[in-house]
Amino acid sequence: MRALTTVDCEYLSQGVAAAYLRAEWDEVAILETCTARSVPRLLAQLDAQGFAREQVRYVVVTHVHLDHAGGASALVRACPNATLLCHPRAERHLLDPSRLVASAQAVYGAQRFAELYGTLEPIPATRVKAVGDRETVPFGVGELAVHHVRGHANHHLIVHDALADAVFTGDAFGLVYPRLQRGALFAFPSTSPTDFDAAEAHAAVSRILGLGAGCAYPTHFGEVRELNEVAAQLHRWLVASQGLVLEARHRPPEERLAFIRAGLDREMAEAATRAGLSLSAEDWAFLELDLGLNAQGLAHAAGRAA
C-alpha cells in the first residue's frame, strides 16, 4: 500500500498547520507532529487507515519550533517502534525540551502555553536519530532522503520522498494557506526569529526546486504542485525582506520593528493584488500572527547587521 494523507492539526484554526501520514507497504512515517494537542488527531487518522501504532517506523520533525515538534514526545510514546528523525542541532532540544518550554512559557505564560501546546517531555536518546545532510534512511521499498536547509532556522531539514514524488518542506518553502488561495496561487515566506538569513533562505528554495519533485508539502499547508510559481514568489518576498533589513539597520533600534512591519504590510497588499486576491479584514486578522513574527525576525536580523 502506498498512501500520503494530509492531516489538519487544527492548530489555532483549521488550515494553519498540517502533518503528513506517509504509508509504504506495511510501514508508516509521520512527518511533523504539531503540538501534543494534535497527537490524538494523528492517531485517529492512523486508526482510520487501518494501521497499528507499531507500524509507524519514523516520526520526522523538520525543526523544533513548537507548531512542528511540540507533539513529538507524545507521538513517539504512542508509537513504540518509531524512531524520531531530526536535524543534529535539534536533537538536544528533543532529548531535553526544558529550554524550549521555558522560552515559550515566558512568551505565553504557563496557562496559555498548556492550552496551545500541552505537555512536552524528554524523548529517550535510543528513540532519536539525528540525520546528516543528504543522508538516506530506508523506508518501505525505497528510502527517504534528508537535506539540511537554513534560512528559516539553523536546525531545519526537509525530506525528499522519491517514491511519492514529494518533498516535505517544513517552513523552508513558504506558507501556502488554503484560505488565501482565492485568486492565483499565493505564497509567502516565514522569517520568524531568530535565524532568518536571506541568502540561505534563497538557497533553500532553490535546493527544494532542484530536487525535481512533482509536489511540495509545506507544513503551512497542504499539497502544492506549482513549485516554480511558489519559488518565484518566495524569491521576490525574500528580496523585499532583505531590503527592509538593510534599511532598518541604520535606524534606531526602537524604530526598527515598526518600520519593518509597515514595509511587510505594504508588500503583503501588493503581493495580494498581483495574485488577484482581495484581502478582507478577516484575512488581515488571520495574517496578523505571521506578519508580526516575520517582522520580529527581520528586526532581529537588522540588529545583527547594524
CA–CA distance, 202 with 238 (Å, rounded to integer): 7
The partner residues of 254 in beta bridges, in order of sequence, read none
pLDDT, tens digit, 9 for 90 and up, residues 162-208: 999 999 999 999 999 999 999 899 999 999 988 999 999 999 999 99
**How many residues are listed for the chain in this entry?**
306
With 90 as the cut, is the pLDDT of residue 108 above it?
A: no
The region of weakest confidence among 77-86, 105-114, 155-164, 275-284 is 105-114
Q: Which CATH number fits domain 2-164: 3.90.1150.10, 3.60.15.10, 3.40.50.300, 3.30.70.2860?
A: 3.60.15.10
pLDDT, tens digit, 9 for 90 and up, residues 30-68: 999 999 999 999 999 999 999 999 999 999 999 999 999
What is residue 306's predicted lDDT score, i.e. its pLDDT? Answer: 82
Q: Cα torsion at 125, 204, 15, 97 (round to 10°)?
A: 20
CA–CA distance, 145 with 133 (Å, rounded to integer): 9
What is residue 203's predicted lDDT score, i.e. its pLDDT? Answer: 98
What is residue 59's predicted lDDT score, i.e. its pLDDT? Answer: 98
Q: How confident is the model at residue 261 (pLDDT cuts 50, 70, 90)?
A: very high
The region of weakest confidence among 27-41, 109-123, 202-216, 228-242 is 109-123
> Where in the sequence of the chain do the CATH 3.60.15.10 domains occur?
2-164
Long-range own/partner contacts, residues 147-150 (CB < 8 A, 24 or more apart): 147/207, 147/211, 148/87, 149/200, 149/203, 149/204, 149/207, 149/208, 150/195, 150/197, 150/200, 150/201, 150/203, 150/204
Provide the whole-model pTM.
0.96
Kindly state the greatest CA–CA separation across the chain: 58
- Do residues 299 and 292 make contact, with C-beta atoms less than 8 angstroms apart? no
Share of the chain above pLDDT 70, in %: 100
What is residue 91's predicted lDDT score, i.e. its pLDDT? Answer: 98
What is residue 81's predicted lDDT score, i.e. its pLDDT? Answer: 98
- Do residues 71 and 39 make contact, with C-beta atoms less than 8 angstroms apart? yes
Q: What is the mean pLDDT of residues 270-282?
A: 96
CA–CA distance, 137 with 125 (Å, rounded to integer): 18
**Phi then psi for 60, rounded to 5 degrees?**
-120, 135
Residue 196 grid cell: 532568518
The partner residues of 6 in beta bridges, in order of sequence, read 20
Q: How confident is the model at residue 158 (pLDDT cuts 50, 70, 90)?
A: very high
With 90 as the cut, is the pLDDT of residue 269 above it?
A: yes
Residue 82 grid cell: 518509531
Could you identify the residue written with the cell 528513540? 127
Q: What is the mean pLDDT of residues 61-90?
A: 97
Mean of the per-residue pLDDT values of the chain: 96
With 90 as the cut, is the pLDDT of residue 82 above it?
A: yes
Residue 20's nearest CA partner among 35, 9, 12 is 9
- Using DSSP, state whether 275 is helix, strand or coil: coil
The partner residues of 23 in beta bridges, in order of sequence, read 3, 28
What is residue 3's predicted lDDT score, i.e. its pLDDT? Answer: 94
- Do residues 131 and 87 make contact, with C-beta atoms less than 8 angstroms apart? yes
Residue 60's nearest CA partner among 80, 26, 87 is 87
Residue 93 grid cell: 532540544
Q: What is the mean pLDDT of residues 66-75?
A: 96
With 80 as the cut, is the pLDDT of residue 1 above it?
A: no
**Phi then psi for 57, rounded to 5 degrees?**
-90, -40
With 90 as the cut, is the pLDDT of residue 154 above it?
A: yes
Pairing of strands 2-8, 27-31: unpaired
Q: What is the mean pLDDT of residues 119-138?
A: 97
DSSP letter, residue 139:
E
